[in-house]
Amino acid sequence: MAAVIEHKSYARVGLLGNPSDVYFGNTISFSLGNFWASVRLEPSIDLVIVPHPSHDLVQFNSISHLVNRLQNEGYYGGVRLLMAIVKIFHNYCKESNITLHDGNFTLSYDTNIPRQTGLSGSSAIVSAALSCLLDFYKVRHLIKVEVRPNLVLNAEKELGIVAGLQDRVAQVYGGVVYMDFDKNHMDELGHGIYTPMDVDLLPPLYLIYAENPSDSGKTMDDITIAAVSQGIVNISVHSTVRQRWLDGDKFIRSTIEEVANIAVEGRKALLEKDYNKLAALMNHNFDLRRRMFGDNALGAMNIEMVEIARKVGAASKFTGSGGAVVVYCPDGTSQVKQLEDACHKAGFTFQPIKVMPSFLNETDLQTLKSK
């Protein structure tokens, strides 16, 4: 029997520059070790996609159970994500003249990434599945690391999910990554310029999120968050902002450019370990997003999470488009304790962030060196 293959892909935090990744901007993101999705591939006679016992639930105790389930978590689980990446992977290999053997497999998945938290739960499942396919077909050396985030994104686009590359880059590379989505580079090569950074450059960071979010906003630019993958979020406001950008709206264009520059300045601040500057940039990033999208779009609960951190003097911003907040406490332990107490009083979950180092192996690194 061939060996069982299993890969994890971690949640991600957009530290600076989002949402400029979908506007040819710059971002800094990192892998969040607190949560992950895992995919298991086992060789089998037939090709089988296994529904998750809870995320792809089709058996209920009652009609009320079914209705409550759909209201809280939507119609979609992870099966369609696995099917989509298998199709995209197959088609890419065919178009690239990469030969795949005839063996079949069974794919199953699990995830502990909280839903509707903007931590890229959907793309984590797709990214982990892609890693399994690379190893099962022994083609890891033939598909460049820079290309893999596009495959993940294309699988999600296959399902009508419209998003940017930032999250998928962070999940494919691991660690901390500075991303430059220069338009000329994107037009020519189809991907950005991705520069890994030392995870030790980050100060201690913290995560705030709601276990059962009820008001996660009306717009999300990061469609990998569960609300959109479940088909329960209205993205009309984001569509309006994007259309204004496409139409050359001076305010939107200049604000997006300012957001992108935050990541450029943030990279310098991290390299110099200027954490006061980092704090200011985090706050400014959120303020610019709020200016563009408005409070109604961001959601009262999301704004409350940001403001609860700011009230104790901490820097805070969305990890993605809402649902969770990344926090830096410049005054140290006493400020952390003050914020933790405030979060618990408000009913939010508060925990230290664990940053995962890069998990690219030697074969992956060789593809980065090849032309």
Query: How far does CA 109 lie from the centroid of its chain?
Result: 18
Peptide bond into 19 cis (omega under 30): yes
Strands 324-328 and 315-318: antiparallel
Point out the catalytic residue in the list 167, 180, 221, 364. Answer: 167
Tokens of 266: 């943030």
**pLDDT one digit per residue (tens) for the chain, 371 residues:** 569 999 999 999 999 999 999 899 999 999 999 999 999 999 999 999 999 888 887 888 999 989 888 877 777 778 999 999 999 999 999 999 999 999 999 999 999 998 878 898 899 999 999 999 999 999 999 999 999 999 999 999 998 877 889 999 999 999 999 999 999 999 999 999 999 999 999 999 999 998 766 444 443 333 333 333 333 333 455 668 888 999 998 999 999 999 999 999 999 999 999 999 999 999 999 999 999 999 988 999 999 999 999 999 999 999 988 899 999 999 999 999 999 999 999 999 999 999 999 989 889 988 887 65
For the question of residue 167 being annotated catalytic, the response is yes
Are residues 199 and 176 in contact, defined by beta-carbon separation less than 8 angstroms? yes
**Residue 327 Cα distances to 129, 168, 209, 231, 279, angstroms:** 30, 22, 11, 29, 9
3-state DSSP assignment of residue 287: helix
Give dist(CA 181, CA 166) in Å, integer. 9
Residues 6+ apart with CB under 8 A from 50: 106, 107, 108, 109
Contact 9, 82 (CB under 8 A): no
Domains of the chain listed by start with CATH number: 5-57+70-199+356-369 (3.30.230.10), 205-352 (3.30.70.890)
| pTM confidence score | 0.89
